[in-house]
């Protein structure tokens, strides 16, 4: 076996692909096991097929409705961004809003590179039968209506103002900022051992009037603010 596969991981996903599961005949209710090798960063970045790796990982995440932590295995952030974009789309499929009508708007604070990735990720996709689109907000004061709001690291200085601007509104806030889920945010991305994981602040979610499905809660690294 090539050395780059010796430190790979199997990723569990809710089954939507016709893939064998642990050697058994696939059935609709079974989870799918997806193999994502951890390739050395220098090999990926030198490879002419590097852009395709990011696209392939994103396609796997979307087609399998991936919820489990996904392996990144490289350091320049592009693959991480593609994975986060796929997560943002899939989060919407496990969240219930008080009024679920019309299109789902995924808002982004600032003109971060993830905007273009998100636009390509959601192209032709729906969230529980609802069309979706991306909306960019230059400042927290411009945030009006959206279902999901992503606060990138590049907008760290505006993060607390953005959280305050949407407090009490049914808007799922997501960010990669350190301590985001401890400082009032709802879902915080973490990169741990080259793997994208996430924490959920359930208290903040419930105060906003949102409900998160048990499938999503089960695969969070940590759930904060849960009622005992």
Taking the model in full, what pTM does it have?
A: 0.71
Distance set, CA 42 to CA 54, 63, 163, 203, 213 (Å): 15, 28, 37, 41, 39
Assign 3-state DSSP to the chain and report helix, strand, coil percentages, each to 5.
35, 25, 40
pLDDT given at position 194: 84
C-alpha distances out from residue 216 to 2, 92, 125, 137, 203, Å = 34, 10, 20, 27, 15
- Taking only the tens place, the pLDDT of each residue in 178-228 is 999 999 999 999 999 888 999 999 999 999 999 999 999 999 999 998 765
Domain spans, the chain: 3-224
The mean predicted confidence, pLDDT, of the chain is: 76
For residue 228, what pLDDT is reported?
Answer: 56
Question: Tell me, what's the pLDDT at 79?
Answer: 86
Q: Is 102 helix (H, G, I), strand (E, B) or coil?
A: coil
What is residue 15's predicted lDDT score, i.e. its pLDDT? Answer: 31
Alpha-carbon gap, residue 129 to 118, rounded angstroms: 18
Question: Beta strand pairing status for 126-127 and 172-175?
Answer: unpaired
Assign residue 73 a region: left if phi > 0, alpha if psi is -120 to 50, beta otherwise? left
* Structure confidence at residue 199 (pLDDT): 97
Give the architecture-level CATH label for domain 3-224: 3-Layer(aba) Sandwich (3.40)
Please give the backbone phi and psi of residue 66, each rounded to the nearest 5 degrees, phi first: -60, 130
Residues in the chain where the model's pLDDT stays below 50: 1-47, 49-50, 52-60, 62-65, 70, 72-75
pLDDT at 200: 98
Q: How far apart are CA 13 and CA 100, in angstroms?
A: 25
pLDDT of residue 103: 95
CA trace torsion 153, 97, 125, 21 (10° rounding): 90
């Amino acid at each position: 076996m090539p050395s780059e596969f010796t430190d790979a991981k199997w990723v569990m996903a809710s089954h939507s692909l016709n893939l064998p599961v642990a050697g058994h005949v696939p059935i609709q209710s079974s989870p799918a096991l997806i193999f994502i090798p951890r390739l050395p960063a220098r090999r990926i970045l030198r490879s002419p097929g590097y852009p395709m790796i990011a696209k392939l990982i994103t396609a796997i995440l979307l087609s399998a409705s991936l919820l489990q932590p996904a392996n990144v295995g490289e350091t320049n952030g592009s693959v991480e961004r593609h994975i986060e974009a796929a997560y943002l789309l899939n989060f919407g499929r496990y969240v219930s809003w008080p009024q679920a009508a019309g299109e789902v708007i995924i808002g982004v604070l600032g003109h971060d590179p993830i905007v273009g990735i998100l636009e390509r990720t959601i192209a032709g996709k729906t969230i529980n039968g609802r069309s979706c689109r991306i909306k960019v907000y230059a400042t927290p004061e411009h945030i009006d209506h959206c279902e999901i709001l992503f606060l990138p690291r590049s907008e760290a200085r505006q993060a607390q103002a953005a959280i305050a601007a949407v407090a009490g509104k049914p808007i799922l806030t997501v960010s990669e900022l350190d301590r985001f889920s401890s400082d009032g945010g709802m879902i915080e991305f973490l990169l741990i051992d080259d793997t994208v994981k996430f924490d959920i602040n359930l208290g903040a979610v419930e105060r906003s009037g949102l409900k998160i499905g048990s499938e999503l809660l089960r695969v969070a690294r940590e759930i904060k603010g849960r009622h005992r």
